[in-house]
Structure 1
Amino acid sequence: MILQLFVCLIAQLSLSFGQEMGYLRIMNGTTARDKQFPYQVGLLCYFDDSKDEPNLCGGTVISKRWILTAAHCLQEPSSELRKVIIYVGSLEVDESKPFVVKKSATIVHKGFNRKIVANDIGLIKLPKDLTFNDRIQPAIFPDLGNTYEGKMAIISGWGLTSKQQASSVLQYIRAPIITNEECEKQWNKQLKGKRRKLVLDSFICIDSRAGLPCRGDSGGPLVLDDGSRTLVGIVSHGYDAKCQVKLPDVLTRVSSFLDWIEEQTGGGLE
């Protein structure tokens, strides 16, 4: 899907997120086909000190009025969010107009902890209903209690490629979901006692050896690779800012926040 208007904006991006543990983290990706990922959303997040250079993030359509993303996409330590420009479905100039929302239309989990990247989840309420069609469809929520360990999944986004540039075309990778225990083991082996990585139950990890998300992919979807559009994770963080160390990427486990999502949306997910 060639995103003409999006490309023009990407060219201006600073991608200047904070970088706790390689924060904001597709490398070695495949170009997506039109209509392949109808739940995918592109976000341009403008902060007070951004000098009109937005931060690029991803998001997921979960209903006609709600977008799910990462908390760190909507919040910075020393700057207030001004607005978010949201691209849904085909982003061709002549086919799609973006939504623009203010900070008041965003929700960041109150327990979001930037240091350990806990509760890295946020919501955006659209000003009007989406019209579902073959380019715009909601993702499906996962089963409560299913870890999905060993299942293949897909991450998609417009983040940095191996050339350290934001992609002008939506990219995706396939990767297996691994156990949290294996994820924590690999991280702490790399850290060599300098600090310790705690992989929480509310995290979900993928094996990133074949490819990994990078800066600009944050907030984007991890869905099962079975055609069901089941959303199991939200891109959260990786080991290094340049995405060169192929440790497991850590994502927010969506099933851990189903009650929170229902509470914040008022159950309005039809």
Structure 2
Amino acid sequence: MGDYIRSIFNSMYQVQKIYRMSKLLHLLCLLVSFGVILGQGHLRIIDGKPAWPKLLPYQVLLEATFKDDNKTYYCGGTIISKRWILTAAHCLVNSSLVLDNVIVSAGIVNATDENEFGRVEMLVKMQDTVVHSEYNNKTIENDIALIHLPEDLKLNDYIQPAKLPKRKHPNAYDFRKAIVSGWGQTNHGPTDILKYLVVRIISNKHCEKLWSLALNGLRKLILNSFLCIDTRRGLPCFGDSGGPLVLDDGSDTIVGIVSHGYDAECNIRVPDIFTRVSSFVDWIEMHTGKLT
């Protein structure tokens, strides 16, 4: 089965490379087809400062394609070991389509520069992805997924894993500063350069209060497995989904995964909601083993 299967796999990869030439034209297609009920929020990307090589070596770009769909859907992800990528469930799930494969690009800042130094690309088949079995696309609960790479990443200054957090009480990171990053929508349209923003984590109680005020009294339930940020100075938007929220203390500890926000246009500064990674350490280790 070896040579024949490899030839098919390589052909598929070349087709994906052709699709990538028009990637920026499709950025805004991300998640338009993933419905979320009123009052729960819109699946999300980011606005911020341009990153430079080696600054965020744990960040990856994901390009997902679904069967019977000619669009490419873009998300972010986080390297957590040589073989595993952490992302959001909604990046790999479409209620009406079946995931075909995902191109993972690591070690990059410029999403469209095929010759960027440090760039590594791998094509991952659907069967090598793990979506949380209890992901709910209405409440956006358990919005977490894993991607198993076909071979080890070679770690260097451009490619490094983020650290998983310890299992902590839900309020453990309140008021801490963190870095959110991605290739998502900015105030000036889609970007091909990785952007980052320093934000502050807020309490779930305060987050729920601000959401309820924006919803004119309707309650937005902020689960313990959610984590919120203050978005008054900036926020993620379309295309940043699945990307990392990492503590701004030099530890490269990933505490959140970009999940969803209040409005589809990312204009209203209601706190954005992330999947709280510390709530899923057991789930991650169940599928990956204990990462080192």
Q: Same fold (TM over 0.5)?
A: yes
Give the TM-score of the pair, scaled to structure 2.
0.85
Q: Deviations over 1:219-240 (max 9, x none)?
A: 0000011111010000000001
Post-superposition CA distance 1:110-130 (Å, at most 9, x none): 010111100000000000000
Does 254-263 or 93-102 show the bigger shift?
A: 93-102
Q: Is 1:201–2:224 an aligned residue pair?
A: yes
Distance 2:229 2:145 in 1: 21
Answer yes or no: is the 8 Å Cα contact 1:19–1:241 preserved in 2.
Answer: no
Maintained 8 Å contact 1:25/1:238: no
- What does the per-residue CA deviation read over 1:114-165, in whole Å, with 9 as the maximum and x for residues that have no partner? 11100000000000000110000000111221521110001000001113x3
> How has the CA–CA distance of structure 1 residues 169 and 213 changed in structure 2, closer, same or farther, with 3 Å as cutoff?
same
Map of 1:157 onto structure 2: 182
Output the CA distance in 2 between the equivalents of 1:235 and 1:16: 14
Q: Is the 8 A contact 1:25 1:218 kept in 2?
A: yes
> Aligned in 2, Cα 1:65/1:115: closer, same or farther, shift over 3 Å?
same
Look up the equivalent residue of 1:93 and give its one-letter code: E
CA distance in 1, matches of 2:219, 2:143: 19
Contact 1:6 1:168 (C-alpha < 8 Å) held by counterparts: no
Aligned runs of 1:23-102 on 2, under 5 Å? 23-27=43-47, 29-51=48-70, 53-90=71-108, 92-94=113-115, 95=117, 96-102=119-125
Mean alpha-carbon deviation: is it higher for 138-147 or for 109-118? 138-147
Distance of aligned partners of 1:49 and 1:189 in 2 relative to their CA distance in 1, 3 Å threshold: farther
**Normalized per residue, which structure has more helix?**
2
Say whether 1:259 aligns with 2:277: no
Q: 2: CA distance between counterparts of 1:89 and 1:226? A: 21
- Shift of residue 25 of structure 1? 4.6
**Where does structure 2 lack aligned partners over 5 or more consecutive residues?**
1-18
Q: 1:15 aligns with which of 17, 29, 41?
A: 29
User: What is residue 199 of structure 2 aligned with on the other side?
Assistant: 175
Q: Assess if the C-alpha contact under 8 Å between 1:25 and 1:241 holds in 2.
A: no
Q: % of aligned pairs identical?
A: 50
| SS at structure 2 position matched to 1:11 | helix
Larger Rg: 2
Amino acid of the structure 2 residue aligned with 1:197:
K
* Structure 1 vs Structure 2 CA RMSD: 1.7
Gaps of 5+ in 1: none
Give the letter for the 2:89 counterpart: A
TM, length-normalised to structure 1 = 0.92
Between the two proteins, the alignment pairs up a number of residues equal to: 261
Question: How many Å apart are 1:7 and its aligned residue?
Answer: 7.4
